[in-house]
Amino acid sequence: MNDVLKIILSLSLSGSLLILALLLGKRFLRDKLSRQWQYYIWLIVILRLLLPFSPKISLMNLMEKTYQTIDQFVTKSTPSTRGQSTSPAVKSIYLSIPANIPGHDIKQAGEPLTLPHPLGNMVSSLTRHIWVIWLLAAVGILIRKVTIYQSFIRYINTGRIPVSDIKMLDALYVASKRAGVKKPVELCVNPLISSPLLTGFFHPCIVLPDADISETDFLYIAMHELTHYKRKDIFYKWLVQITVCLHWFNPLVHLMAGEINKACEFSCDEAVLTKTGCDGALDYGKTLLDAMAAIRKYKKNPGVVSLSENKQLLKERLGAIMNFHKQSRAAHFLTGVLTLCILFASAFIGVYPVATVTGATSKTTSQTDDTTPEYIKDTIPETPNDDTGESDGSEGKKTRVKNWNWDQWNEIWDYWDDEDWDYWHKEEW
């Protein structure tokens, strides 16, 4: 299996453990922790799913070392059957072993060996190149998401009309100051959309389905969308979408994306009420209900942030709004402790050891491990001489290889790789 795919699978496994831990904790601590903390804590999981870095002592590292230990034990304790290797070079050199090896009776040289079934070769080839399937699927899904987003933005821009009402623009300015947004934000109307939404990465625009709304509703709508802009939730959403594309095969990652979308709206509601005060909870809830009443059937788009998503989510949001209260010191202390625990868990789980991947180089004389037997080191192809461009000692090595006993031939399978077999296959025996 390709080493890149091994890293992706280990990242997915590590992230899955964290996802399960957060989902389990949400069941017991959802109403005791800040909604904003519940939103941003997922960033640790996303980073774990994207960044292949971990300390030397990690769960994945220990699993890798355990696997290598077991594999070496099994290899040494199991009788050699590698004569049935699929590599043509391996078959040829194994068939060319001299028949008069001291200390062991074997078949005469040139006797046919049992070759693997062609289906085995196909499976082996597919296993080696399965990373191509993963990569093509990831790129295809990402292209599809970007295409859908661009089509939706064109759809919004085609029907939007800039608002010229001075009173609404003044109200937007006041809301911007309360939300702490200094950059000008465009205000438009598009009757083709179902609820207010925010678009644009660098040129934000609040789009309303209708300009005929009350002053109170407009204040809360503007505060909500401006909060999304200030927190850069669009960038956060696309980071989640990229993670989903890379881990498209993992259902827990898709579940995480849905939880983040919900947490985004809950945390935004909490941020708005923190600025406007608890007394505005009733009016803010009424604004959500008015927005939901105007919703028609529109396809959900992953690249925008809107005021209202669906009825079930709205019901949960209204409950959270009505129960809103400022967090106590004990709750702040608990969130701090949990954050440290999740950071520690993310680091301890780790990923597939990168050093194992980058350290896999060809076996030359200068690169062989100190534990490799001398007679095996002597067979590793040497690096060509800088002056002559030729290797030294080829004939002597060939003679020594031919004089090996059976135990030496049996042990060579643990040290030679395909390049070594190809090298000796080219030599004339």
Q: Is the pTM of this model over 0.85?
A: no
Q: Is residue 143 part of a domain?
A: no
Q: Is residue 148 part of a domain?
A: no
- 71 and 94 co-located in one domain: no
User: Considering 322, 346, 378, which residue would you say is the last residue of a domain?
Assistant: 322
Q: How far apart are CA 371 and CA 411, in angstroms?
A: 13
- 396 and 416 co-located in one domain: yes
pLDDT at 363 (0 to 100): 43
- For residue 157, how many other CB atoms are within 10 A of its CB? 14
Residues 18 and 45: beta-carbon distance below 8 Å: yes
- 196 and 259 co-located in one domain: yes
- 54 and 101 co-located in one domain: no
Quote the Cα angle for 94-375-99, to 5°. Answer: 35
- 171 and 259 co-located in one domain: yes
- 351 and 373 co-located in one domain: no
- 43 and 55 co-located in one domain: yes
Q: Is residue 380 part of a domain?
A: yes
N residues, the chain: 429
- 109 and 66 co-located in one domain: no
Its domain, for residue 332, covers: 1-78+327-359
Residues 177 and 211: beta-carbon distance below 8 Å: no
Query: What residues have CB less than 8 Å from 32, skipping those under 6 apart?
Result: 331, 334
- 257 and 197 co-located in one domain: yes
Q: Is residue 294 part of a domain?
A: yes
- Phi and psi at 208, nearest 5°, equal -105, 145
Sole residue written with tokens 């005791």: 32
Per-residue pLDDT of the chain (429 residues; tens, 9 = 90+): 577 888 898 899 999 999 999 999 888 887 788 899 999 999 999 999 999 887 777 777 777 677 667 766 666 665 544 444 444 544 444 444 444 444 444 444 444 444 455 665 666 666 777 888 899 999 999 999 999 999 999 999 888 999 989 999 999 999 999 999 988 999 999 988 888 899 988 889 999 988 888 888 899 999 999 999 999 999 999 999 999 999 999 999 999 999 999 999 999 999 998 888 777 888 888 888 777 666 544 445 555 555 555 667 777 888 888 777 777 788 888 889 999 999 998 888 877 765 444 444 444 444 444 555 555 555 544 444 444 444 444 555 555 555 555 566 555 655 555 555 555 555 544
Q: Is residue 402 part of a domain?
A: yes
Question: Mind giving me the DSSP string for 131-184?
Answer: HHHHHHHHHHHHHHHHHHHHHHHHHHHHH-EE---HHHHHHHHHHHHHHT--S-
pLDDT at 357 (0 to 100): 46
Q: Is residue 139 part of a domain?
A: no
Q: How many domains does the chain have?
A: 3
Residues 170 and 194: beta-carbon distance below 8 Å: no
Distances (CA, A) of 166 to 171, 172, 173, 223: 9, 10, 10, 18
Long-range contacts for 61-68 (Cβ within 8 Å, ≥24 apart)? Answer: 61/350, 61/353, 64/352, 64/353, 64/356
Strands 186-189 and 205-208: parallel
Q: Which residues pair with 199 in a beta bridge?
A: 205
pLDDT at 280 (0 to 100): 80
pLDDT at 187 (0 to 100): 94
pLDDT at 224 (0 to 100): 93
- 10 and 106 co-located in one domain: no
pLDDT at 105 (0 to 100): 47
- 166 and 186 co-located in one domain: yes
- 293 and 188 co-located in one domain: yes
Quote the Cα angle for 274-279-283, to 5°. Answer: 95
Residues 197 and 225: beta-carbon distance below 8 Å: yes
pLDDT at 232 (0 to 100): 92
User: Which of 59, 22, 16, 42 shows the shortest CA–CA distance to 247?
Assistant: 16
Half-sphere exposure of 19 (CA within 13 A, CB side): 21
